[in-house]
């Protein structure tokens, strides 16, 4: 007589019957329920954690590349001479043909635009309040292309008024200075006008025309934008720029553009990408992701091990049934598959429930975090420490697949031992005292 086909319908029927049986009939034990709940909670935590980590990284990268250059082309430090005193000053590398160079860099395939920029540090003050600020001078059209800066949902004012004595200021520094649109801010630079008596600080007043929020605490608290020509005059950069900021269509592959950008920029050019600037933080996030995945995987493994305990108890209670099934002609393979399916059903049901709960938790993580922040009086999420203002989650198919694959793999593996024990049970011994 031919052997039954593996995983035949009757094997599924017997396994499901054992799982549904009351405990008094030797059915599912408390340990099996514990393992089911444990796997559900473990998978839920794994899915939610991976989603939160992916969302945090996505928000972090978006806030960085949305308000900063993807790659910066600059030159080694140079020097300028005061014609009145013949005094030589060391200055950052200057780009003299910045318009032409920006056009050539923008023509590189994959580069969306290249922005000539003047940079400097100043003391910003309004009334009796003052703060250190980073000033960037760029053209109005280039500033409008930075969606994290010019965003009507997060900023206010008239960005088109950014000309002459108009400035755009971060929301954080605006709050610290107590200013808004239409107010005056005084900027003081240490290296100002060159006179016969040396260099005097340059002090100019500007009108706030736009207040922005870049989504990063450190940027909002320190950054100010000036029109390019005004910044050149303010920082003694007439006719030159400090650097060319380059933006590409795929920020994750920014390093692929470095050789070509250097080739276009010419001898002596240097490149500084956003990954160079934030590489330490990205590496830390990657290490944290790996460690958290391992820790949560151990929790899923512990929950899966309870399947072994539950199945061993089930095999013991079903010893008489196993003997009868063997005498009826079921092979060791059929018995093994029946009890394997009992454990597999527990793992599958727990995994499905965990994924559903994990997805629900991920979709509502912002509301949950808001509630937790309210309970802790704002101490659960501090933007000055974490950089970004809120916690979000990003569900990715690959992350869900990793959680599902891990849970099912562990559930199936730990099921094999008790299933083999049931299959090797001697039917004569099982029925001897019945």
**Pick the residue with more confidence: 393 or 397?**
397
Angle at 148 between CA 147 and CA 152, to 5 degrees: 75
Q: How far, in Å, CA of 202 to CA of 191, rounded?
A: 7
Give pLDDT, residue 81: 64
Angle at 402 between CA 399 and CA 403, to 5 degrees: 90
79 has which bridge partners? 90
Q: For the packed helices 30-67 and 365-375, what is the interaxial angle rounded to 10 degrees?
A: 90
Give pLDDT, residue 26: 45
Q: Are 148 and 215 in contact (CB under 8 A)?
A: yes
- Strand 129-138 relative to strand 111-126: parallel, antiparallel, unpaired? antiparallel
Is pLDDT at 433 greater than 60 in this prediction? no
Q: For the packed helices 319-327 and 332-363, what is the interaxial angle rounded to 10 degrees?
A: 130
Q: Are 40 and 56 in contact (CB under 8 A)?
A: no
Q: How far, in Å, CA of 130 to CA of 93, rounded?
A: 29
Give pLDDT, residue 174: 92
In this structure, what are the phi and psi dihedrals at residue 247, rounded to the nearest 5 degrees? Answer: -120, 135
pLDDT digits 0-9 by tens, 222-252 = 899 999 999 988 888 888 898 999 999 888 8
- 60: tokens are 């972090």
Q: Whole-model pTM?
A: 0.71
**Pick the residue with more confidence: 92 or 141?**
141
Establish how many alpha carbons lie within 13 A of residue 402's alpha carbon, considering only the half-sphere containing its beta carbon. Answer: 18
The set of residues, in sequence order, having a beta carbon less than 8 Å from that of 286 and lying 6+ positions away, is none
- The predicted model gives 23-41 an average pLDDT of 69
Is pLDDT at 382 greater than 50 in this prediction? yes
* 3-class SS letters over the chain: CCCCCCCCHHHHHHHHHHHHCCHHHCCCCHHHHHHHHHHHHHHHHHHHHHHHHHHHHHHHHHHHHHHCCCEEEECCCEEEECCCCCCEEEECCCECCHHHHHHHHHCCCCEEEEEEEEEEEEEEEECCEEEEEEEEEECHHHHHCCCCCCCCCCCEECHHHCCCCEEEEEHHHHHHHCCCCCCEEEEEECCCCEECCEECCEEEEEEEEEEECCCEHHHHCCEEEEEHHHHHHHCCCCCCECEEEEEECCHHHHHHHHHHHHHHHCCCCEEEEHHHHHHHHHHHHHHHHHHHHHHHHHHHHHHHHHHHHHHHHHHHHCHHHHHHHHHCCCCHHHHHHHHHHHHHHHHHHHHHHHHHHHHHHHHCHHHHHHHHHHHCCCCCCCHHHHCECCCCCCCCHHHHHHHHHHHHHHHHHHHHHHHHHHHCCCHHHHHCCC
Mean pLDDT across the chain:
80
Give pLDDT, residue 205: 92
Give pLDDT, residue 25: 46
The set of residues, in sequence order, having a beta carbon less than 8 Å from that of 55 and lying 6+ positions away, is 362, 365, 391, 392, 393, 394
Q: Are 162 and 116 in contact (CB under 8 A)?
A: no
- Percent of the residues in the chain that have a pLDDT greater than 70, as a whole number: 78
Is pLDDT at 263 greater than 70 in this prediction? yes
pLDDT digits 0-9 by tens, 169-220 = 998 899 999 999 999 999 998 876 665 555 678 889 999 999 998 877 788 8
Give pLDDT, residue 219: 85
Give pLDDT, residue 430: 52
pLDDT digits 0-9 by tens, 162-172 = 888 899 999 88
Q: How far, in Å, CA of 320 to CA of 434, rounded?
A: 7
Q: How far, in Å, CA of 354 to CA of 334, rounded?
A: 30
Band of residue 283 on the pLDDT scale cut at 50, 70, 90: confident
Is pLDDT at 367 greater than 90 in this prediction? no
pLDDT digits 0-9 by tens, 295-353 = 888 888 888 877 777 777 776 666 666 666 766 667 767 777 777 888 888 888 889 99
- 22: tokens are 């009351």
């Amino acid at each position: 007589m031919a052997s039954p086909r593996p995983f035949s319908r009757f094997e599924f029927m017997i396994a499901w019957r054992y799982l549904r049986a009351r405990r008094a009939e030797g059915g599912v034990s408390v340990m099996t329920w514990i393992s089911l709940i444990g796997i559900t909670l473990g998978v839920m935590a794994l899915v939610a954690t991976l989603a939160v980590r992916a969302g945090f990284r996505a928000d972090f990268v978006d806030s960085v590349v949305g308000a900063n250059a993807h790659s910066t082309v600059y030159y080694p430090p140079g020097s300028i001479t005061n014609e009145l005193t013949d005094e030589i000053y060391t200055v950052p590398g200057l780009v003299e043909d910045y318009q032409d160079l920006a056009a050539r860099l923008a023509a590189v395939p994959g580069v969306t635009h290249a922005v000539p920029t003047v940079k400097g540090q100043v003391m910003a003050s309004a009334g009796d309040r003052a703060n250190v600020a980073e000033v960037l001078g760029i053209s109005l059209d280039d500033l409008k292309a930075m969606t994290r800066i010019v965003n009507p949902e997060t900023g206010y004012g008239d960005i088109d008024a950014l000309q002459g004595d108009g400035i755009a200021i971060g929301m954080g520094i605006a709050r610290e200075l107590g200013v808004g649109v239409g107010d005056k801010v005084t900027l003081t630079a240490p290296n100002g006008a060159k006179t016969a008596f040396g260099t005097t600080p340059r002090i100019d007043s500007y009108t706030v025309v736009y207040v922005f929020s870049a989504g990063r605490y450190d940027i909002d608290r320190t950054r100010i934008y000036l029109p390019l020509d005004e910044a050149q005059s303010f920082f003694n950069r007439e006719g030159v720029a400090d650097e060319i900021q380059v933006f590409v269509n795929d920020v994750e592959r920014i390093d692929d553009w470095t050789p070509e950008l250097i080739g276009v920029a010419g001898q002596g050019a240097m490149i500084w990408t956003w990954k160079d600037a934030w590489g330490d933080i990205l590496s830390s996030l990657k290490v944290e992701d790996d460690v958290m995945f391992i820790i949560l995987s151990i929790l899923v493994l512990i929950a899966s091990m309870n399947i072994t305990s539950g199945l061993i108890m089930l095999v013991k209670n079903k010893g008489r049934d196993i003997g009868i099934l063997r005498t009826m002609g079921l092979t060791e393979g059929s018995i093994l598959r029946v009890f394997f399916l009992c454990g597999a059903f527990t793992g599958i049901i727990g995994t499905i429930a965990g994924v559903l709960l994990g997805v629900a938790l991920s979709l509502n993580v912002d509301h949950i975090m808001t509630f937790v922040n309210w309970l802790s009086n704002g101490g659960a999420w501090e933007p000055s420490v974490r950089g970004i203002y809120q916690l979000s989650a990003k569900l990715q198919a690959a992350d869900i697949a990793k959680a599902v694959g891990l849970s099912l793999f562990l559930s199936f593996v730990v099921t094999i031992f008790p299933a083999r024990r049931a299959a090797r049970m001697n039917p004569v011994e099982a029925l001897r005292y019945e």
